[in-house]
Amino acid sequence: MIVPVILAGGSGTRLWPLSRQLYPKQLIDIYNEHTLLQNTILRLEGIESIGPPIVVCNEEHRFMTAEQLRKIKVDPHAIILEPVGRNTAPAIALAALKAMENKKDPILLVLPADHVIEKVIDFHAAIQAGLKYAQNDSLVTFGIIPRSPETGYGYIKKGELIEKDTGASKIEKFVEKPDLDTAQKLFESGSYCWNSGIFMFRASAIIKELETHAPDIAAPCREVIAKGRQDLDFFRLNLEGFKNIPSDSIDYAIMEKTSKGIMIPFDAGWNDLGSFDALWQTGQKDEKLNVIKGDVLTHDVKESYINSESRLIAAVGVEKFVIVETKDAVLVSPRDRVQDVKKIVRQLRDQNRDESVTHRKVYRPWGSYETIDVEPRFQVKRITVKPGAKLSLQKHFHRAEHWTVVSGSAIITKGDKEMLLKEDESTYIPLGTMHRLENPGQIPLELIEVQSGSYLGEDDIVRFDDVYGRKNDKKYCKSDKNI
């Protein structure tokens, strides 16, 4: 059996303001009607003996990840939660150890969750070409046949040719992301492929190589898996042990050191969507080579990417530009400078601004909320609760809340009383009162919440009961992560 391992722990800072810490690019539908995570799994349909995936994601994204799998009717083998990012080598090691439970030893197909692959049939053919090598305990990586000299990708140099039909070869060396002159030379040589970050190997084979070449990763990974626990749909790792795992990529830790590495080259319309220029390259273009999304008007605009989320964008006389609007931020950049967006994100983080962390619309396991207005002593939110879902039983020490139902119906717990509210009805939750909100209906519950008080931070919460297993701990409440 082939077990897909989906690496979904990235933050996607180069696609800010679309991608943010609590809502990164792999969870956004920036390419088609599905998110990048969903596309990564859906494009595996049709591969023989493909099993349920193991998804490795950040703890902060767990409910969105589970919900997106549910929407495409995928029941995962496991969703492994990383307390913090530790790069690809530990993530793959944890997935391999999880896959080997009950004395199993499947073939792992490791896939980053943020790629676009347009030619799925060719992608499947490459996987089949690599399968026989993985079954013989080789470590297979998939190289992308380059279309141009690119500075945003690493490169892999082909070694000795193993099989002419598939182009399978040994790996001579890895090259870090080059400057433009070096990239031009690598491209013209014909001896290099782009490093896709896609791998295939037997679970026991990668663990053996980790124990040989990176024992400081292998040993603590075994410990945190052994001490981990199942929590609803998720597998939680032992936090103390996880802190001892060094951060390293699978390329550095294993692939540059192993004698078992093999590269399968393929060309399947691959792109890692690592920048807005990549979104322009893969997007559907108009007659002036613009990629336009949302409410946009243009005059004399060429070869640009313009994305409007909530209001009209009017652009005049620009060429090769990126303009992206969300409800709380606007990005303007030449297309050839979009790699520097991460420097803006760094400034936002240095200033402790929420725009680096979350959007105005925030997703929760029970639904979502969107901040409409905020001032020092009050804020207004639009809350959407999914049918059958309910918030935690909680109270606040510094704020009161007033709820007005806009559509649907709500069961309100207030102190020791319970009431049913319908459209155009409201209730007031005094400061310090235990309360809960539930949607008993078959349609989403929409309501307006007005908060007032001396302190409106989301760490002002005491949780008494929660069906989603969220802890009453400031570590989870900080920055509004776990309401």
Residue 482 has pLDDT above 50, yes or no: no
Q: How do residues 283-299 score in pLDDT, each as one tens digit?
A: 999 999 999 999 999 99
Q: How confident is the model at residue 244 (pLDDT cuts 50, 70, 90)?
A: confident
Contact 197, 112 (CB under 8 A): yes
Please tell me the pTM assigned to this model. Answer: 0.87
Phi first, then psi, for residue 412 (nearest 5°) are -110, 125
Q: Which long-range contacts (CB under 8 A, 24 or more apart) does 475-483 make?
A: 479/22, 479/354, 479/357, 479/358, 480/358, 480/362, 481/22, 481/60, 483/362, 483/364, 483/369, 483/391, 483/458
The contacts of residue 112 (CB under 8 Å, 6+ apart) are 7, 10, 40, 197, 198, 272
Which two three-digit tokens encode residue 110?
């490791």
Residue 394 has pLDDT above 80, yes or no: yes
Contact 172, 157 (CB under 8 A): yes
Q: How confident is the model at residue 468 (pLDDT cuts 50, 70, 90)?
A: confident
What integer pLDDT is reported at residue 110 of this predicted model? 98
Residue 481 has pLDDT above 60, yes or no: no
Mean predicted lDDT score pLDDT of the chain: 92
What integer pLDDT is reported at residue 475 of this predicted model? 35
- Measured CA to CA, the distance from residue 135 to residue 133 in angstroms comes to 5
Q: How confident is the model at residue 409 (pLDDT cuts 50, 70, 90)?
A: very high
The structure tokens 């896709």 sit at 196
Residue 427 has pLDDT above 90, yes or no: yes
Q: How confident is the model at residue 473 (pLDDT cuts 50, 70, 90)?
A: very low
What integer pLDDT is reported at residue 238 of this predicted model? 82
Alpha helices in 30-87 (DSSP H): 36-42, 62-71
Round to the nearest angstrom and report the end-to-end CA distance of the chain.
Answer: 39
What integer pLDDT is reported at residue 12 of this predicted model? 78
Q: How do residues 107-161 score in pLDDT, each as one tens digit?
A: 999 999 999 999 999 999 999 999 999 999 999 999 999 989 988 889 999 999 9
What integer pLDDT is reported at residue 31 of this predicted model? 85
- Measured CA to CA, the distance from residue 170 to residue 187 in angstroms comes to 19
Question: What's the alpha-carbon Rg for the chain, to the nearest Å?
Answer: 24
Q: How do residues 267-277 score in pLDDT, each as one tens digit?
A: 999 988 888 99
Peptide bond into 17 cis (omega under 30): yes
Contact 196, 303 (CB under 8 A): no
Mean pLDDT of 421-442: 96
Q: How do residues 332-382 score in pLDDT, each as one tens digit?
A: 999 999 989 999 999 999 999 989 998 888 889 999 999 999 898 999 999
Phi first, then psi, for residue 477 (nearest 5°) are -90, -20
Phi first, then psi, for residue 388 (nearest 5°) are 80, -5
Residue 480 has pLDDT above 50, yes or no: no
Residue 450 has pLDDT above 50, yes or no: yes
What integer pLDDT is reported at residue 241 of this predicted model? 85
The structure tokens 């690592």 sit at 274
Domain with CATH 2.60.120.10 in the chain: 360-480
Contact 44, 117 (CB under 8 A): no
CATH 3.90.550.10 is the classification of domain 2-271:
yes
CATH number of the domain at 360-480, out of 1.20.1090.10, 1.20.1260.10, 2.60.120.10, 2.60.40.1250? 2.60.120.10
**Paired residues of 231 in beta bridges:** 234
Which two three-digit tokens encode residue 341?
């967006």
**Window from 240-244, 287-291, 468-472 with minimum mean pLDDT:** 468-472
Q: How confident is the model at residue 472 (pLDDT cuts 50, 70, 90)?
A: low
Residue 474 has pLDDT above 50, yes or no: no
The contacts of residue 296 (CB under 8 Å, 6+ apart) are 306, 308, 312, 313, 314, 315
Mean pLDDT of 254-282: 92
What integer pLDDT is reported at residue 476 of this predicted model? 32
Q: How do residues 2-28 score in pLDDT, each as one tens digit?
A: 999 999 988 778 899 999 988 999 999
Q: How confident is the model at residue 240 (pLDDT cuts 50, 70, 90)?
A: confident
Domain with CATH 3.90.550.10 in the chain: 2-271
Q: How confident is the model at residue 471 (pLDDT cuts 50, 70, 90)?
A: low
Cα-based distances in Å from 22 to 77, 358, 361, 368, 428: 24, 5, 11, 13, 30
Residue 243 has pLDDT above 90, yes or no: no
